[in-house]
Amino acid sequence: MKYRYLGRSGLLVSRLCLGTMTFGNDQWGCDQDTSSAIVRRFIEGGGNFIDTADGYSAGESERMLGMAIRDYDRDHLVLATKCWFPTDSAVTARGLSRKHIIDACERSLKRLGTDFIDLYQFHGPDPYTPLEESLRAADDLVRAGKVRYVGCSNFYGWQIAKANTLADAKGYERLISGQHLYNLIRRDIEREILPAAEDAGVGIICWSPLAAGMLSGKYRDQLAPDARSRMGIQASVTVPRYWFEDALKLVEKVADVAQRLGHTPSQVALSWLFGDQRITAAIIGARTPGQVGENLVAGELELPPEIRNELTAALPVNLGYPFEWTENNLRATFGRAEFEPAHTVRLP
């Protein structure tokens, strides 16, 4: 397993992060024994980074994860969880208000059976709560020793930039991570979020790195996903997101590359992510320990540059405006220096 620093911090995490959304899920998840076996396989394979959320199976994922890590040295693990989704019927039990952040953190600590959370993440943006309020609440949790680092998930690029600008100005704890949808099929974050995160010192953690299983190749030659599969159960979201002609062609390309390299499509698709050093980790979910074992190979696999470029070109992302404008005008306007200075800002 290879490790990367999470954003502009000293926190070193495995570049594969174990996702626990399957833990306790009645439709497409697993029970306690299987969840514990999945955690054991991941840790034995060198993984130290595990992600959950209070919104997964109504908190059951956190509880089951807490049970699964009881026999391991807590200080050797990096536990991440999140708040934002409703946790009960109370109108205050949701979002990023100071009240909810602090209440949700206390409940997560109890379910996880731990004294501290290594990475506490805002699960989504809250348009009704000032960002200063949310950051101050998270900062108080850090100062109280209940949280070590703060991150976000599903934020816009401008929100990432604003959050760390506010944190610097007011002396609050900065965001060190952003958890976002990113894979070979959906590369939307390359337009604004990746550049904003890099500039703000925020490391990217990719969720759905295998596109809900599409990039594993298991849906090849199917006209539609099996209704009993996770993609089938969540078809209203996953099919529009991943199931279209160009994506199906890309899956065939990944399968072809995998065969040439002697690896599985999942291993290749995961490894593609790590060719970009702005990516800190990819979240791998599993229903069996065997699935974890297969994906762990990507913890060390490095794709040759020409292979990575081949995959990148297979489904180009339209970066749109203002990238198009700068691409047309930047080189003609600048380019007079002997070499690129260290402070050069990388545009998408």
Annotated active-site residue in 3, 5, 56, 72:
56
Answer whether 311's CB lies under 8 Å from 184's CB: yes
For residue 246, name the pLDDT band (cuts at 50, 70, 90). Answer: very high
CA angle 17, 35, 185 (to 5 degrees): 40
pLDDT on residue 335 = 82
Does position 233 have pLDDT exceeding 90, yes or no? no
- Dihedral, CA of residue 166, residue 168, residue 172 and residue 176, to nearest 10: 90
pLDDT on residue 225 = 87
What is the number of other CB atoms lying within 10 angstroms of the CB of residue 116? 17
Q: How many CA atoms lie within 13 A of 227 on its CB side?
A: 0
Structure tokens at 215: 């990039």
Helix (H, G, I), strand (E, B) or coil at 258: helix
pLDDT on residue 123 = 98
pLDDT in tens, 122-133: 999 999 999 999
What is the number of other CB atoms lying within 10 angstroms of the CB of residue 94? 18
Helix (H, G, I), strand (E, B) or coil at 271: helix
| C-alpha dist (Å) from residue 279 to 6, 43, 67, 256, 295 | 9, 21, 30, 24, 17
Q: How many CA atoms lie within 13 A of 124 on its CB side?
A: 12
What is the pTM (predicted TM-score) of this model? 0.96
Cα–Cα dist 202/204, whole Å: 6
pLDDT on residue 229 = 84
Does position 228 have pLDDT exceeding 90, yes or no? no
pLDDT on residue 281 = 98
Does position 221 have pLDDT exceeding 90, yes or no? no
> 56 catalytic, yes or no?
yes
Please compute the mean of the pLDDT values over residues 71-86 and round it to a whole number: 98
Does position 42 have pLDDT exceeding 90, yes or no? yes
Does position 249 have pLDDT exceeding 90, yes or no? yes
**Tokens 């926190």 correspond to what residue?**
11
Does position 89 have pLDDT exceeding 90, yes or no? yes
List the beta bridge partners of residue 51: 19, 80
pLDDT on residue 160 = 98
Helix (H, G, I), strand (E, B) or coil at 153: strand
pLDDT on residue 345 = 87
Which has the minimum average pLDDT: 49-53, 217-221, 283-287? 217-221
What domains can be seen in the chain, in order of their start residue?
A: 3-317 (3.20.20.100)
Backbone angles phi, psi at 260, to 5 degrees: -65, -35
Which has the minimum average pLDDT: 226-235, 294-303, 314-323? 226-235
Does position 230 have pLDDT exceeding 90, yes or no? no
